[in-house]
Amino acid sequence: MSASEAPRGRPRPGALDAVFAIAVNTFREGIRDRILYLLLAFALLLIGASRFLSLLTVGDESKIIKDLGLSAISVFGLLTAVFVGVSLVFKEIERRTVYTLLATPVSRWQFVAGKYAGLLAMLATNVVLMSSVLAAILLFRGESPLPLVTAEFLILVELALVTAFAILFSSFTNPILSAVGTAAVYVAGHLSWSFDLLKKRLPPGAGRTLCDVLHAVLPNLDRLDLKTAAVHSLPLPPGEPLWGALYGVAYTVAVLLLSAWLFSRRDFP
């Protein structure tokens, strides 16, 4: 009997039921492990920094609190995505629980999608809680946190994309290489503009083509960065957040499909 076939006499679960079940378990596992400690550290850092910075700055203290808050949400989320994401699939293989799981009527793409959805739910909880702490601090200071919501949402989209890469790498290599690969994608994603710069300095030929390909293929994470605009309440071009979110979601789906394909071709000893 193949892994994707259901045993006779038992109702075959819907494709999304299996994904949901794996996602719930992944979410629970993650919550028990690390997320609360990260949130606590974040909250303390933010509250401590806001008090401390009020002594150091001249002028608008809220700007620094907002910047620090948004960057902390992004960085803590990234750390969660990298360190949890890269070991998610690997841990299942190492513990050999993946054999049990794939022996049930769960296909490999459902496994990857479930793992990803669980981690994304954990990250979303993480972002919502950290944003709430930031919002509480701003409200306490008499400021509205609403202008930050779009930027916080796009931080989540960025984290979703980075997490997809973490899952992609972890579907064919070990956690250390996956972490390095995911971090490299994050760095390259924020420096993708440099391929244009590099292209101008290269003679026509393969080098320029490579720059074009890398610029087109690597994610442009700066497109998902609205932190500065949110902090200064700057008007955004119409549709920018929406197109940014669509870009991030579409890219994430593509990376996940690639992950599922790679994982489906993997041989387990």
Residues that bind other proteins (CB under 8 A): 53, 56-60, 63-64, 67-68, 70-71, 74-75, 186-187, 190-191, 194, 221-222, 225, 227-228, 231-232, 234
Min separation Cβ 139 and other proteins, Å? 21
> Nearest distance from residue 53's CB to other proteins, in Å?
7
Q: Based on CB atoms, which residue is closest to other proteins, 31 or 45?
A: 45
Cβ proximity to other proteins, 64 vs 210, nearer residue: 64
CB 66 within 8 A of CB 148: yes
CB of 68 to other proteins, least distance (A): 6
- Chain centroid to Cα 30, Å, comes to 14
Please give the structure tokens belonging to residue 159.
């984290």
Report long-range pairs for 171-174 (Cβ below 8 Å, ≥24 apart). 171/89, 171/112, 171/259, 171/260, 171/262, 171/263, 171/266, 172/262, 172/263, 172/266, 174/90
Taking the complex as a whole, how short is the minimal distance between the CB of residue 66 and other proteins, in angstroms? Answer: 9
The amino acid that residue 134 corresponds to is: L
CB of 57 to other proteins, least distance (A): 6
CB of 75 to other proteins, least distance (A): 8
Q: Which is nearer to other proteins, 142 or 235 (CB)?
A: 235
Q: Which two tokens stand for residue 11?
A: 């109702």
- What is the rounded CA–CA span in Å between residue 107 and residue 5? 9
Distance of alpha carbon 85 from alpha carbon 182, whole angstroms = 9
Specify the residue, 176 or 234, whose C-beta has the smaller distance to other proteins: 234
Distance from C-alpha of 10 to C-alpha of 12, rounded to nearest angstrom: 6
The Cα–Cα gap between 165 and 142 comes to 39
Q: Name the residue nearer to other proteins (CB basis): 69 or 114.
A: 69
Nearest approach, Cβ of residue 216 and other proteins (Å): 20
Nearer to other proteins by C-beta: 221 or 260?
221
Q: In whole angstroms, what is the distance from residue 27 CA to residue 103 CA?
A: 22
3-state secondary structure of 102: helix
User: Is the Cβ of residue 76 or residue 90 nearer to other proteins in the bound state?
Assistant: 76
